[in-house]
């Protein structure tokens, strides 16, 4: 009898030793998560929840695993359960905020990060830095660059790291603070050199017109990741700005080789071909960009400009129509469509488009100038002068605005006013032959024959051959 009891105890002891608690499974899950063994961690957290379904940390940690596995909706469900069990569980709000970020619910994410920060500020939890970082990212996605910078400032104050500097750099670039962005990208690169940081620093440099410095950064990005199509695209753009159109095309070729559906690469390759005078090739590139992305308003805009350049104004207007349909707030599309209509002699339609462009952007001197030309073509000289006045107010160095205002004044018999405008045009551009021509004619009308003939002679010398007809008529 004693032997049977002893044998039973010996058999039970190993079984008792193998039993584990929920906390032990939780610890095992944490260890596996640190190693990136998400499948193993998930199994351990499942077991921990099975043994103790009322322990919030198990749900919160399992949510983090699901985040890393791309199961964002599942992560939110686990966070909801963790918060139900423990309403002040900061980590659950953090994880739920990150899941909402991944799903594009940026406003919902901010609400969760707000709650995490509120709890952490009271409890001084270590997740506070992550909450500021996450909220900063949500604000960045919503275009709230100032708010994002404030959050990244706080995250960096608590725990400086590559991601906070990098994202703060993106936010500063969004505010057109390219120098500040470069400083942050410098720090990010110092902490963790990688192709993405070099690429974005290059973009900031290019926006500051330091295209040679930008190319150096794009070179480095490509060295670190030779298959990074975006760096080839951006290096091509920097070369485009420097006038190296053939070099730009080579980079766009590589970007397209790496990503055959890269609409921006076709688009920009079209721009390079346009500058090389290959208008047919440019249109083909814009065709491809539009085929890939039919909602690319800029591709329609550029294709329209190319068609205008070869005299296909009807085709250009069709492209401008499409660009405006996609983006009704694009003042440039109305401006360019108006110019195409002007080239077809539709001055009323031209003025309607210029009116719309001015409504959208009342600070664009070029639109006022062009509207002045259109009004002049319709014989509305009073309104033409008003538009040239506004164009000059916005851009006092536009010689053509003075010249055209002078021409209108001459047409209404104000030759003295015309001479003053031609004087200004010549002051700004001493090689403006047409201004000498008009000034000479105005002076002759005022009886200033000798001075007027000298102006006509200067205009002829500069290539305005009709000046010699007036010289024969008035100066011999």
Is pLDDT of 88 > 70? yes
Q: What percent of the chain has pLDDT over 90?
A: 91
pLDDT tens per residue across span 256-276:
999 999 999 999 999 999 999
Instruction: Please state, in angstroms and rounded to a whole number, the distance separating the CA atoms of residues 305 and 316.
Output: 7
The answer on pLDDT for 457 being more than 80 is yes
Q: Where are the domains of the chain?
A: 54-175
pLDDT of residue 122: 62
User: How far is residue 232's CA from residue 228's CA, in Å, rounded to a whole number?
Assistant: 7
What would the CATH number be for the domain defined by 54-175?
A: 1.25.40.10
Give the global pTM: 0.81
Q: Is it the case that residue 199 has pLDDT exceeding 70?
A: yes
Residue whose structure tokens are 């009886």: 447
**Residue 219 exposed, middle or buried by CB count within 10 Å (0-12, 13-18, 19+):** middle
> DSSP string covering 425-443, please?
HHHH-TT-HHHHHHHHHHH
Cα separations in angstroms, 40 against 10, 20, 61, 63, 79: 32, 16, 13, 14, 20
Give SS3 for 259: coil
pLDDT in tens, 141-189: 999 999 999 999 999 999 999 999 999 999 999 999 999 999 999 999 9
476 confidence band (pLDDT: 50, 70, 90): confident
| DSSP for residue 103 | T
- The DSSP secondary structure of 13-70, one letter per residue, reads HHHHHH---HHHHHHHHHHHHHTT-HHHHHHHHHHHHHH-TT-HHHHHHHHHHHHHTT
Task: Please tell me the predicted confidence (pLDDT) of residue 7.
Answer: 37
* Burial (Cβ within 10 Å: 0-12, 13-18, ≥19) of residue 473: exposed
Closest alpha carbon to 407 in 376, 451, 428, 444:
376
Report CA-CA distances (Å) from 221 to 130, 230, 258.
Answer: 28, 9, 15
As a whole number of angstroms, the distance between CA 248 and CA 215 comes to 11
The predicted-structure confidence for 94-124, as pLDDT tens digits, reads as follows 999 999 999 999 999 999 999 999 987 665 5
**What pLDDT is stored for residue 126 in this prediction?**
59
Helices 56-68/38-51 angle, 10° precision = 160
Q: What is the mean pLDDT of residues 203-232?
A: 98
Task: Provide the pLDDT for residue 399.
Answer: 96
In this prediction, residue 128 carries a pLDDT of 86
**Average per-residue pLDDT for the chain:** 93
Residue that has been written with the tokens 């346009």 in this structure: 274
Q: What is the dihedral of CA 22, 27, 29, 34, to 10 degrees?
A: 170
Q: Left (φ > 0), alpha (ψ -120 to 50) or beta: where does 131 sit?
A: alpha
């Amino acid at each position: 009898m004693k032997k049977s009891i002893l044998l039973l105890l010996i058999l039970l002891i190993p079984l008792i030793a193998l039993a584990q608690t929920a906390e032990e499974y939780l610890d095992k899950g944490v260890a596996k998560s640190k190693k990136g063994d998400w499948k193993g961690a998930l199994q351990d957290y499942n077991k921990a929840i099975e043994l103790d379904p009322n322990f919030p940390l198990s749900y919160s940690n399992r949510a983090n695993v699901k985040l890393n596995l791309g199961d964002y909706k599942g992560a939110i469900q686990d966070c909801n359960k963790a918060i139900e069990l423990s309403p002040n569980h900061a980590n659950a709000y953090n994880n739920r905020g990150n899941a909402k970020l991944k799903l594009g619910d940026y406003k919902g994410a901010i609400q969760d990060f707000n709650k995490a920060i509120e709890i952490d500020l009271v409890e001084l939890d270590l997740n506070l830095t992550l909450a500021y970082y996450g909220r900063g990212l949500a604000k960045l996605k919503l275009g709230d660059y100032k708010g994002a910078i404030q959050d990244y400032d706080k995250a960096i104050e608590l725990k400086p790291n590559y991601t906070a500097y990098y994202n703060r750099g993106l936010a500063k670039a969004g505010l057109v603070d390219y120098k500040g962005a470069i400083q942050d990208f410098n720090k990010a690169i110092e902490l963790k050199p990688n192709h993405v940081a070099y690429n974005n620093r290059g973009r900031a440099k290019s926006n500051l017109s330091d295209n040679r410095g930008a190319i150096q950064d794009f070179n480095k990005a490509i060295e670190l990741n030779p298959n990074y199509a975006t760096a080839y695209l951006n290096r091509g753009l920097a070369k485009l700005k420097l006038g190296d159109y053939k070099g730009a095309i080579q980079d766009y070729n590589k970007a397209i080789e790496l990503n055959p559906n890269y609409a921006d690469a076709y688009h920009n390759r079209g721009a390079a071909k346009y500058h090389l005078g290959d208008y047919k090739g440019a249109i083909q590139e814009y065709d491809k960009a539009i085929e890939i992305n039919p909602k690319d308003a800029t591709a329609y805009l550029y294709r329209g400009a190319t068609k205008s350049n070869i005299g296909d104004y009807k085709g250009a207007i069709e492209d401008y129509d499409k660009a405006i349909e996609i983006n009704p707030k694009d003042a440039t599309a109305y401006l360019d469509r108006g110019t195409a209509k002007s080239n077809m002699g539709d001055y009323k339609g031209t003025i309607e488009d210029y009116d719309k462009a001015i409504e959208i952007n009342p600070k664009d001197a070029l639109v006022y100038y062009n509207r002045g030309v259109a009004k002049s073509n319709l014989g509305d000289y009073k309104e033409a002068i008003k538009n040239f006045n506004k164009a000059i107010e916005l851009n006092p160095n536009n010689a053509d605005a003075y010249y055209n205002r002078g021409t209108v004044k001459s047409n209404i018999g104000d030759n003295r006013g015309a001479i003053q405008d031609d004087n200004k045009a010549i002051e700004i551009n001493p090689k403006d032959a047409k201004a000498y021509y008009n000034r000479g004619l105005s002076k002759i009308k005022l009886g200033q024959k000798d001075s007027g003939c000298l102006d006509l002679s200067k205009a002829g010398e500069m290539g305005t051959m009709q000046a010699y007809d007036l010289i024969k008529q008035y100066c011999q």
